[in-house]
Chains A and B, each alone.
Chain A
């Protein structure tokens, strides 16, 4: 699954997700990819979030909505990402998932549980894409 957030030169934010879901799923099963607030969420006034992992579990907690609302309340991206992941892990200790958070100033961070996660960043002060590794 790819979840992406873009902040353009005017500070406008957009997010998106695309996935073909879980392998050998029961026909008709939909993961968290198309669920607003789960796989991704963005608000020009605050920032954005992208998520990936076990969609059957994650969609029950809307982690990206949680990340954006935590940042709206003043949390920095790292704490907001960690908080959203820990809320799920508290109920499902075996769950596997990750989020990245980015605020409207462009500060970004990631958090994960059950696997090592990587996310990619490109901004105008970089020559090319940089990949950041996040450990559980």
Chain B
């Protein structure tokens, strides 16, 4: 009797152990075999390495949030592709402003800044919004004031010689391309005035000669039978070095 109950107990323990290891394996498969994991847009290798360092090294069992902030900050410092961080993408006034967001997928908390001026640490500012306010998104100069009040360096000029040179060339090119539509003058710098679409003479189609094309960009405007079609000063340019 005693022997069989011992055997029964061992059997039970084995099953129990297998079950645990299965769960462990399964659990590990779910929680850790391929993890940690970092994924990022574009071949921004240094940014991914910076995030990886935080999330994977022993001493820095950094949270996923810390890793994301480290990775995106690396790109801000490196000015990845000129589309991240200070010194790129000047607006029509030649100024660089920053947009950034961070989200914690465990708590669904989000912090974000938009069109932030004079502070170069975009995603760090976003994290401060998440950690030190009940808000989700702060914008413009108020976002700047919040970030500086929470300890980020600033105010500082976010332009660079490259961004200013880019902007100067654009102005010499009659401020083309741009993001205006249904305004006059077309194909030139502003100030712009709205075309009153309701009062535009309708004679057949709205015929507009193409003012000229430059570098594959269609300047001026185009023939449109549909009055409601916006009269674009030209097609906007979205590419690897100019996008969101």
A binding-site residues for B, Cβ under 8 Å: 1-36, 39-44, 48, 50-56, 58, 96, 98, 100, 102, 104-106, 108, 114-115, 117-125, 128-129, 131
For B65, give its contact among A14, A30, A104 (CB under 8 Å): A14
Q: Given A2-B44, A96-B238, is A24 in contact with B101 using a C-beta cutoff of 8 Å? A: no
Contacts of B113 in A (CB 8 A): 34
Across the interface, name the chain B residue whose C-beta is closest to A52: B41
From B63, B91, B104, residue with most partner A Cβ within 10 Å: B91
Q: Chain B 50-89, CB within 8 Å of chain A: the 1/0 string?
A: 0110011000011111011101110110001011111011
Separation of A11 and B30 alpha carbons in the complex (Å): 8
Cβ contact within 8 Å between B179 and A12: no
Whether, in the assembled complex, B102 has its beta carbon less than 8 Å from a beta carbon of chain A, the answer is yes
Whether, in the assembled complex, B103 has its beta carbon less than 8 Å from a beta carbon of chain A, the answer is yes
From B85, B105, B167, residue with most partner A Cβ within 10 Å: B105
Contacts of B108 in A (CB 8 A): 43
Question: Which of B5-13, B32-40, B195-203, B207-215 lies on the face that meets chain A?
Answer: B32-40
Whether, in the assembled complex, B150 has its beta carbon less than 8 Å from a beta carbon of chain A, the answer is no
B binding-site residues for A, Cβ under 8 Å: 29-45, 47-49, 51-52, 55-56, 61-65, 67-69, 71-73, 75-76, 80, 82-86, 88-93, 95-106, 108, 110, 112-115, 122-123, 126, 136-137, 139-140, 158, 166-167, 170, 175, 177-180, 236-240, 242-244
For A39, give its contact among B55, B68, B75, B244 (CB under 8 Å): B244
For B40, give its contact among A3, A30, A128 (CB under 8 Å): A3
Q: Least Cβ distance of B26 to chain A in Å?
A: 11
Contacts of A5 in B (CB 8 A): 38-40, 68
Q: What are 18 sample pairs from A and B whose C-beta atoms fall under 8 A apart?
A: A3-B40, A6-B51, A12-B63, A12-B64, A12-B105, A13-B106, A16-B72, A17-B101, A18-B85, A19-B83, A20-B83, A21-B98, A27-B95, A34-B137, A54-B238, A102-B39, A115-B239, A120-B42
Q: Given A27-B92, A52-B244, A131-B45, is A34 in contact with B100 using a C-beta cutoff of 8 Å? A: yes
Contacts of B65 in A (CB 8 A): 14
Interface SS of chain B: helix, strand, loop or mixed? mixed
Contacts of B103 in A (CB 8 A): 14-16, 36, 40-42
Cβ contact within 8 Å between B68 and A7: no
Contacts of B237 in A (CB 8 A): 23
Separation of A115 and B158 alpha carbons in the complex (Å): 29
Q: Given A40-B103, A108-B39, is A19 in contact with B244 using a C-beta cutoff of 8 Å? A: yes
Cβ contact within 8 Å between B244 and A18: no
Contacts of A6 in B (CB 8 A): 36-39, 51, 55, 64, 67-68, 71
Q: Given A22-B179, A34-B137, is A29 in contact with B115 using a C-beta cutoff of 8 Å? A: yes
Contacts of B167 in A (CB 8 A): 24
Cβ contact within 8 Å between B99 and A52: no
Contacts of B93 in A (CB 8 A): 27
Contacts of A114 in B (CB 8 A): 238
Separation of A18 and B93 alpha carbons in the complex (Å): 21
Contacts of A42 in B (CB 8 A): 103-105
